[in-house]
């Protein structure tokens, strides 16, 4: 009895009085993270000459740990180190590279829980989603292992006798990855796994607010590379602010820059990289819609919408922001949604049963309030929620709007779902397409004619076009990305790997003669 009371008292004491770091000391110890003095740069050795940045727990805005971030000088040195390391890496056969990626995968699998926990602690998403994010990195490493036996080029029939034409896929050199706070691990994983299998080195510049995730991951990659007698600078890290990101975008040593973030910043990154004829992959804002037809399974739709709009507290680029509902089923669906929303447990993302954690920063809470204000100003209604709950917590919200309101054009990156009605599928598709962004979209229907219209030329203009599933939660096997103001980039599966390669068109003459193409005679 006494022992039990003592155990409860000690749990209470830990929860109430210990800092985030102390409460999760085992996790941080295991991943090599300390409370202060963490070095935020890795280029073969751990260092950092930038300012000290705090990693903050969004649950209570308490500093979890401090990181000595990187500077543009650190970036300058690191870019040379990656390039040196890549010269060795590119000489490995592609299947051998795959074996190293397999070892990276094993290192992640062994640390799935602790890594997922750090994602939750630093980003604020619930633990199952934090772990899911590490799983997504594991998945893409497995995919890259498969690719290591399949980076096939083509043999093309030559029009000239005694000639052989083929394509080669060689690495670009260095891939710079600028990742966002909302997927502090998985999106780096998509890029680095594919960049590596293609023979590139990688330089990671994570979001300034999620340095611990990047340090934990880089430590595991370092260990794996050392175990394989490979130069660990191959996976370098430079944490820091915008100045590091801008320097990376403008540096010609970064052959490809993969940027995930806002449309506003991405537009600049795209211009700068293009200005030096570098390559870029842009994953920018979404304004994703989900259409509910009158013929669909409404219960299924309601469950999907809950995950799509409330999951990750509305902070995925694939979050559903606009719900377009056939007028005949609108009331029925809204009843279900309001009921579902009222049962969502909001709270500490590490607590079992919680579905909605805090927003990542207090600035996001301001964006939430601001968006609600705009809804009201434009004559929209708040159907459910609409309340900031203190700290970074807000109530997931349903609004009733008209599709042409200005507020609906903007992605606020908070859990506000704007709902509206339509009469015909054509009208719904035109609402879906009538925004600047074009990332993800989803149609709920059971009719083949609706499905094929939706995925056809007069259908959704997005990069991700779903049927009877949410807009978010894409698998790694497909290419991920979107059109228009989403930037046009594609990452992850399908043939996205080609962007990480230099394509060579090789024509080899073994004839001993010199026939020219197009039948030209030049005697
Ligand atoms: C992102 O929000 O930047 O499809 C990526 C999804 C996840 C990836 C989201 N697999 O929601």
CB 165, CB 156: distance < 8 Å: yes
Same domain, 459 and 492: no
Residue 187 lies in a domain: yes
The DSSP letter of residue 413 is -
- Which has the closest alpha carbon to 366: 386, 348, 395, 388? 388
The residue whose CA has the least distance to atom 7 of ligand 1 is 473
- Which has the closest alpha carbon to 102: 146, 164, 70? 146
Written as six digits, the tokens of 45 are 């050795």
The domain that holds 361 is classified in CATH as: 3.40.309.10
Residue 174 lies in a domain: yes
- List, as one string, the DSSP characters of 141-185: HHHHHHHTTT----EE--SSTTEEEEEEEEE-SEEEEE--SSSTT
Same domain, 102 and 131: yes
Residue 315 lies in a domain: yes
Confirm whether pTM is higher than 0.85: yes
Residue 469 lies in a domain: yes
Partners of residue 505 on adjacent β-strands: 167
Residue 10 lies in a domain: no
- Alpha-carbon torsion angle 18, 20, 22, 23, nearest 10: 80
Domain of residue 222: give its range: 29-284+488-504
Residue 58 lies in a domain: yes
Helix (H, G, I), strand (E, B) or coil at 53: strand
The domain that holds 232 is classified in CATH as: 3.40.605.10
Same domain, 265 and 316: no
- Which has the closest alpha carbon to 139: 105, 180, 107? 105
Residue 136 lies in a domain: yes
Q: How many domains does the chain have?
A: 2
Catalytic residue among 283, 327, 373, 523: 283
Mutate to test the pocket of ligand 1, among 480, 482, 496 (most ligand atoms within 8 A of CB): 480
Same domain, 261 and 296: no
Residue 464 lies in a domain: yes
Same domain, 405 and 276: no
Residue 440, ligand 1, Cβ within 6 A: no
Q: How many CA atoms lie within 13 A of 331 on its CB side?
A: 1
Question: Buried b / exposed e across 271-280, counting CB within 10 Å, b at 16+?
Answer: ebbeeeebbb
Same domain, 361 and 457: yes
Per-residue pLDDT of the chain (523 residues; tens, 9 = 90+): 455 556 555 555 556 678 999 999 999 999 999 999 999 999 999 999 999 999 999 999 999 999 999 999 999 999 999 999 999 999 999 999 999 999 999 999 999 999 999 999 999 999 999 999 999 999 999 999 999 999 999 999 999 999 999 999 999 999 999 999 999 999 999 999 999 999 999 999 999 999 999 999 999 999 999 999 999 999 999 999 999 999 999 999 999 999 999 999 999 999 999 999 999 999 999 999 999 999 999 999 999 999 999 999 999 999 999 999 999 999 999 999 999 999 999 999 999 999 999 999 999 999 999 999 999 999 999 999 999 999 999 999 999 999 999 999 999 999 999 999 999 999 999 999 999 999 999 999 999 999 999 999 999 999 999 999 999 999 999 999 999 999 999 999 999 999 999 999 999 999 999 999 999 999 9
Same domain, 421 and 381: yes
Same domain, 229 and 263: yes
How many residues would you count in the chain?
Answer: 523
The residue behind tokens 């795959």 is 98
Same domain, 265 and 325: no
- At 324, which helix (H) or strand (E)? strand 320-326
Partners of residue 508 on adjacent β-strands: 164
Same domain, 498 and 379: no
Same domain, 132 and 274: yes
- Which has the closest alpha carbon to 287: 431, 455, 467? 431
Mutate to test the pocket of ligand 1, among 472, 475, 487 (most ligand atoms within 8 A of CB): 472
Same domain, 140 and 55: yes
Known catalytic residue: 283? yes
The DSSP letter of residue 511 is S
């Amino acid at each position: 009895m006494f022992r039990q009371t003592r155990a409860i008292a000690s749990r209470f004491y830990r929860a109430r009085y210990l800092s985030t770091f102390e409460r999760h000391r085992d996790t941080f110890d295991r991943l090599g993270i300390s409370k202060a003095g963490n070095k935020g740069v890795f280029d073969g050795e751990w260092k950092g000459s930038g300012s000290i940045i705090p990693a903050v727990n969004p649950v209570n805005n308490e500093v979890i740990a401090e990181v000595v971030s990187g500077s543009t000088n650190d970036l300058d040195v690191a870019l040379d180190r990656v390039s040196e390391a890549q010269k060795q890496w590119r000489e490995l056969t592609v299947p051998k590279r795959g074996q190293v990626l397999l070892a990276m995968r094993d290192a992640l699998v062994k640390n799935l829980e602790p890594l997922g926990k750090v994602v939750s602690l630093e980003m604020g998403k619930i633990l199952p989603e934090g772990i899911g994010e590490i799983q997504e990195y594991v998945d893409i490493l497995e995919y890259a292992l498969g690719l290591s036996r399949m980076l096939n080029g083509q043999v093309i029939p030559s029009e000239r006798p005694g000639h052989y034409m083929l394509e080669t896929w060689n690495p670009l050199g260095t891939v710079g990855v600028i990742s966002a706070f909302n997927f502090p691990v998985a999106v780096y994983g998509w890029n680095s796994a594919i960049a590596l299998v293609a023979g590139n080195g990688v330089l990671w510049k994570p979001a300034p607010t999620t340095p611990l995730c990047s340090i934990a991951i880089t430590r595991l990659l370092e260990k794996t590379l050392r175990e394989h007698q490979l130069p660990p600078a191959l996976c370098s890290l430079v944490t820091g602010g915008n100045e590091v990101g801008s320097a990376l975008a403008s540096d010609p040593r970064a052959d490809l820059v993969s940027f995930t973030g806002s449309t506003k910043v991405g537009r600049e990154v795209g211009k700068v990289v293009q200005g030096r004829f570098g390559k870029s992959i842009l994953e920018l804002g979404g304004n994703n819609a989900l259409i509910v037809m009158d013929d669909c399974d409404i219960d299924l739709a309601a469950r999907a919408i809950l995950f799509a709009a409330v999951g990750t507290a509305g902070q995925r680029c694939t979050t559903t922001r606009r719900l377009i509902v056939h007028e005949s089923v609108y009331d029925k669906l809204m009843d279900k949604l309001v009921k579902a929303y009222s049962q969502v447990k909001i709270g500490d993302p590490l607590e079992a049963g919680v579905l909605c954690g805090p927003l990542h920063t207090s600035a996001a809470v301001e964006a939430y309030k601001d968006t609600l204000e705009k809804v009201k100003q434009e004559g929209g209604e708040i159907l459910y929620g609409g309340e900031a709950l203190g700290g970074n917590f807000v109530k997931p919200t349903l609004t009733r709007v008209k599709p042409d309101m200005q507020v609906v054009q903007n992605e606020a990156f908070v859990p506000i779902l704007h709902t509206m009605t339509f009469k015909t599928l054509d009208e719904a598709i035109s609402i879906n397409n009538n925004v600047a962004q074009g990332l993800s979209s989803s149609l709920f229907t059971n009719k083949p004619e609706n499905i094929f219209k939706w995925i056809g030329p007069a259908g959704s203009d997005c990069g991700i076009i779903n049927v009877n599933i949410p807009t978010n939660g894409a698998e790694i096997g497909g290419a991920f990305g979107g059109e228009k103001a989403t930037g046009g980039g594609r990452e992850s599966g399908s043939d996205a790997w080609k962007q990480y390669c230099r394509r060579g068109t090789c024509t080899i003459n073994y004839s001993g003669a010199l026939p020219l193409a197009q039948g030209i005679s030049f005697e």
